[in-house]
Amino acid sequence: MEIDYIALFVSDLARSLIFYRDVLGFQFDKPAKPDGVEGYSGKLKIGLYDRAWLPKLFGDRGQAIISGHPFLLSMTVDDLELVYQHLSVTDHQQTTQDISKSTIDIIAPPQIMPWGQKILFLADPDGNLIEIVQR
């Protein structure tokens, strides 16, 4: 068994698409529909869906308030310092009106963890945790 797809349920689909596509560089070949969009990070397929879609999937259970951040999305890169510089640039190139450096929440700059990996932690626009690991 292996993971081949990740779905994120987000509060603002347009904002999240901009973040994952324009800031993190995920590939989205088709335009977003009102309730979601699917794309890729390398070979891994990722879906971004409006949280309003949850009741359609899960009925009454989808009405429950989503709270907390029960997962962490992890990515690997060859040059973590270069990625950090890109995310930290003061006049980060705006590809749309909704994304700017001020929306990128760096939780912890690149650091060597006790187990030896160099990792940068940040959050997406909904507060979901992301780690970027040096290969």
Q: Which domains occur in the chain, in start order? A: 5-134 (3.10.180.10)
Specify whether the CB–CB gap between 20 and 39 falls below 8 A.
Answer: yes
Q: Dump pLDDT digits (tens) for 76-107.
A: 999 999 999 999 884 444 444 555 545 688 99
Q: Dump pLDDT digits (tens) for 104-117.
A: 889 999 999 888 99
Closest listed residue to residue 134, CA positions, set 92, 74, 46: 74
Q: Dump pLDDT digits (tens) for 22-38.
A: 999 999 999 999 889 99
Average pLDDT over the chain, rounded to an integer: 83
Question: 103 or 44: which carries more pLDDT confidence?
Answer: 44
**pLDDT at 67 (0 to 100):** 57
Specify whether the CB–CB gap between 128 and 71 falls below 8 A.
Answer: yes
**pLDDT at 90 (0 to 100):** 44
pTM of the model: 0.75
Specify whether the CB–CB gap between 65 and 101 falls below 8 A.
Answer: no
